[in-house]
């Protein structure tokens, strides 16, 4: 089984975990990417949203589980074939939530390039932006270092 271990700086990552936890609370009740299909029967639509919301919340819990007591003792997270796909999706959900709520004032190009004057951002926006970049980097690590077949298309 393929596995990657990443050593992270606790003082850098700990504040970002607070941002992830806050975002996960906001995502508990709403989809990161809301459904806009209007042709669906109301009952079917509701059931589908409930199922997607349950899956999204499970995936975010998988992401947060990386940062357990062991992480706080050695600073290492481990990603393998079993948790890679849910973590990639959870990172995407949290990033979408950050984008919609805390980072809506930043242009798309700025978010994707990471080219921003951090000192000019208000503290909550700065933390959200750094979290956004951290999660993007985590996604890239998973995709680059684990076999492409793990991440289903």
Give me the number of domains the chain comprises: 1
Residue 150 lies in a domain: no
Residue 111 lies in a domain: yes
Residue 64 lies in a domain: yes
pLDDT the model gives residue 78: 95
Question: From the centroid of its chain, how far is CA 151?
Answer: 15
pLDDT the model gives residue 151: 54
pLDDT the model gives residue 149: 57
CB 90 within 8 A of CB 63: yes
Residue 46 lies in a domain: yes
User: In the chain, which stretches have pLDDT less than 50?
Assistant: 153
Torsion of CA 140, 8, 24, 135, to 10 degrees: -20
Residues 80-111 pLDDT 10s: 999 999 999 999 999 999 999 999 999 888 88
pLDDT the model gives residue 47: 85
Residue 106 lies in a domain: yes
Whether pTM exceeds 0.75: yes
Beta strands in 41-146 (DSSP E): 76-80
Sign of CA dihedral 98, 99, 102, 106: positive
Backbone torsions φ then ψ of 36, nearest 5 degrees = -125, 20
Which range marks the domain in which residue 124 is found?
Answer: 3-145
Residue 151 lies in a domain: no
Residue 134 lies in a domain: yes
């Amino acid at each position: 089984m393929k596995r990657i271990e990443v050593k992270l700086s606790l003082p850098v990552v700990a504040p970002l975990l607070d941002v992830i936890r806050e975002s996960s609370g906001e995502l508990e009740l709403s989809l990161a990417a809301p459904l806009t299909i209007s042709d669906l029967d109301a009952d079917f639509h509701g059931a589908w949203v409930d199922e997607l919301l349950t899956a999204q919340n499970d995936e975010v819990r998988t992401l947060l589980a990386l940062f357990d007591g062991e992480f706080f003792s050695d600073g290492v997270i481990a990603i393998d074939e079993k948790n890679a796909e849910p973590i990639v999706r959870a990172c995407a959900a949290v990033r979408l939530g950050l984008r919609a709520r805390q980072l809506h004032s930043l242009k798309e190009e700025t978010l994707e390039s990471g080219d921003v004057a951090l000192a000019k951002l208000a503290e909550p926006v700065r933390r959200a932006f750094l979290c956004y970049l951290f999660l993007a980097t985590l996604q890239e690590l998973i995709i680059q270092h684990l076999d492409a077949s793990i991440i289903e298309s």
